[in-house]
Amino acid sequence: MSKKVAFWIFLVGTVSSAILFLGLTWDTHRQIEALSHVDKLSNNVVEGKRTFEKYNCNDCHTILGFGAYYAPDLTKVVQRIGADGIRFRIKDPEKALASSWRKMPNLKVSDAETDNLIAFFTWVGNIENGDWPPQDSKKRLSRSEERMVAGVGVSPGAAVFQSRGCMNCHALHGTGGTFGPALDAIGRKLSLEQIEHYIKNPKAVNPKAMMPPQTALSEKEIEEVAGFLANLK
């Protein structure tokens, strides 16, 4: 190759990559307001971001892929465990995350700060970021979903169990919380009616119950999740 050819390859390569790079940057800026739903940036969201910085959550967690890799990415945490799940873990991580070898300290975050953090996570979770970060891609099953699929098959009741906070306190196939008992064989102990009853009002069955009544669930969801659990024998 002559010097002249090398020069032209260098020039054309550099100029075309620069044009491509600038074009894509311009295109991103053109769409950024719509993709990130800037209109939903409320004061609570902004305060939540400040709280996230105040407690250095980024020292252990990533968000949108940025941060430290010790703890799970929090971009889609609202979709993954719901607002109640987040509240429970931040308030008492020693108990809520007791089953894990990784530890999160109790940072004594106030209730108001937690609400702002949830607003911040909700906003971040709805940014249209092309399935980033990939561990939360809808195309990929989560670890507990994989186990559920392998273990019991997907049913509406299994979906309720997973998405409506039961797993904050209960485990199935070794995945989930440890505040309440594992429910792998609950169908041997309780009937469908007894399970429904327990979900609606634990204290009526067991005056010392620590499980809160699951008032956020509809009748149909209670029926589905109770049906699913009654079959675990």
Integer Cα distance of 203 and 173 in angstroms? 27
CB atoms closer than 10 angstroms to residue 195: 22
Cβ proximity to ligand HEC, 35 vs 194, nearer residue: 194
72 in contact with ligand HEC (CB under 6 A): yes
102 in contact with ligand HEC (CB under 6 A): yes
Cβ proximity to ligand HEC, 28 vs 191, nearer residue: 191
Interface residue with ligand HEC, options 41, 46, 83, 97 (CB under 6 A): 97
57 in contact with ligand HEC (CB under 6 A): yes
Tokens linked to 110:
């106030």
Closest CA to 184 of 148, 220, 208: 148
**Distance (Å) of CA 105 to CA 96, 126, 183, 218:** 11, 27, 27, 34
Integer Cα distance of 195 and 173 in angstroms? 19
Provide the residue type at 215 as one letter. Answer: T
Pseudo-torsion of CA 202, 231, 139, 79, nearest 10°?
0
Shortest Å, Cβ 187 to ligand HEC: 10
Residue environment code for 87-107, b if the CB has 16+ CB neighbours within 10 A, otherwise e: bbbbeebeebbeeeeeebeee
202 in contact with ligand HEC (CB under 6 A): yes
Tokens linked to 5:
């050819």
Interface residue with ligand HEC, options 169, 171, 172, 230 (CB under 6 A): 169
Only one of the segments 3-11, 18-26, 100-108, 130-138 lies at the binding site for ligand HEC (rule: CB under 6 A); that segment is 100-108
Cβ proximity to ligand HEC, 36 vs 178, nearer residue: 178
Integer Cα distance of 179 and 174 in angstroms? 13
124 in contact with ligand HEC (CB under 6 A): no
212 in contact with ligand HEC (CB under 6 A): yes
The burial class, CB within 10 Å (0-12 / 13-18 / 19+), for 134 is exposed
165 in contact with ligand HEC (CB under 6 A): yes
148 in contact with ligand HEC (CB under 6 A): no
Tokens linked to 158:
């299994």
Only one of the segments 14-22, 33-41, 134-142, 174-182 lies at the binding site for ligand HEC (rule: CB under 6 A); that segment is 174-182
The residue ranges that bind ligand HEC (CB under 6 A) are 55-57, 59-61, 70-72, 77, 80-81, 86, 89-90, 97, 100, 102-105, 107, 109, 117, 164-166, 168-170, 179-181, 186, 189-190, 195, 198-199, 202, 206, 209-212, 214, 217, 225, 229
